[in-house]
Amino acid sequence: MAGKKQATGNGAKMIPIYIMGKKYEVPETLTILTAMEYAGYRHIRGCGCRGGICGACATVYRLSGEYGLKFGLACQTVVAPDMYLAQIPFVPANKAIYDIEKLTPDINSIGRVYPDLYRCLACNTCSKACPMGISVMDYVQALLKGDIAGCARLSHSCTMCGICALRCPAELQQFHMAMLARRLYGRYLQPRARHLEKRVKQIKEGKFDPMMDEIMSLNNHELKQRYARREWEPESYENPDWRPEETKYLVLD
C-alpha cells in the first residue's frame, strides 16, 4: 500500500473512501493525506514533512472485506477503494523526563527511566505494525540485553509515529525508549567527530561571520538565486582532492 505521493492527474479514476465514517469520491492516485485535502480537510495537526520522515501522519485504516486494522503514514500510503480511515493526530505515550548527563549508557539507566521495558512479551506485534519496516521487537530485545548501540542502530530510521506503542499489548513506549538509547549512544558511546569539534571551534572564533553577514544582507530573491547556483560537493571517494571554485570564504583546517 505504500507509494509515492502523486498529483491529482486529469482523468484519474475516482474511488470511494470513508473518512471518519463519511463517504468521499477521490482520485485513486492520491495518498491518504492528499485525498483528505481533496475531500476538503485542512491539516492543522497530523501532518508535517509530507515525505515520510516526521511521523506526524500516522493513520489507522481498514480495507473493504478485510477484518484486520492496518496502519500507515498518510503521506506515503496510496488510497484504495472503500478504505475506511481514522487519523491519529498524536499517540498518547508516557515520555519520561531525564537528564542525559546523569545517566550511564547501560541497561540500568534505561530500566530506571522506562521500567515498562521489562514487560515486553516478545509477541512481535510492534514490528508488524511499523510503517518503516523496523524490527521494533528486536530493538526492544537489544535494550533488554543492555545493547544500547544495537538498539540505536536498529531504530535509526524511526519516525516517532507511535504506531508500535499503539499496538503493544504490554503498553510499552518503544519509540521513546529507542530515542533514549540513541541519545545515550550519541552522548557516551559514539566515537567523537574530531572534524566537527574543529569546525564548531572555528565558528565560535568567528571565522564564518563575514560569510553569514553577507548572507543575512541578501533579500529573498537573491538568497534563492544563491541557493540554486550553489556548488555540489561530490562524495569524498569520488574526488578526494575536490575544492570549491568559490573560495572567498573557504576556511581550511
Binding site for ligand SF4 (CB under 6 A): 55, 120-126, 129-130, 132, 134, 136-137, 140, 158-164, 168-170, 172, 174-175
What is the 8-class DSSP label of residue 117?
A: G
> What's the closest the beta carbon of residue 133 comes to ligand SF4, in angstroms?
8
Does position 30 bind ligand FES by CB under 6 A? no
148: left (phi over 0), alpha (psi -120 to 50) or beta: alpha
x/- map, 136-165, ligand FES, by CB under 6 A: -----------------------x------
Contact residue for ligand FES among 35, 36, 57, 137 (CB under 6 A): 57
Binding at 136: pick from ligand FES, ligand SF4, none (beta carbon under 5-8 Å per type)? ligand SF4
> What's the closest the beta carbon of residue 106 comes to ligand FES, in angstroms?
32
Q: Would strands 70-73 and 22-27 be described as parallel, antiparallel, or unpaired? A: unpaired
Q: What is the rounded distance in angstroms from the CA atom of residue 173 to the CA atom of residue 60?
A: 18
Q: What is the rounded distance in angstroms from the CA atom of residue 130 to the CA atom of residue 58?
A: 10
Binding at 47: pick from ligand SF4, ligand FES, none (beta carbon under 5-8 Å per type)? ligand FES
Q: What is the rounded distance in angstroms from the CA atom of residue 158 to the CA atom of residue 174?
A: 10
- Give the nearer residue to ligand SF4 in terms of CB position, either 153 or 199: 153
Which grid cell is 80? 484504495
What is the 8-class DSSP label of residue 18?
A: E
Q: What is the rounded distance in angstroms from the CA atom of residue 26 to the CA atom of residue 37?
A: 10
The single-letter code of the amino acid at 136 is V
Phi, psi of 158, deg, nearest 5: -60, 135
Binding at 105: pick from ligand SF4, ligand FES, none (beta carbon under 5-8 Å per type)? none
- Give the nearer residue to ligand FES in terms of CB position, either 157 or 190: 157
- Site for ligand FES, rule CB under 6 A: 47-50, 52-57, 73-75, 159
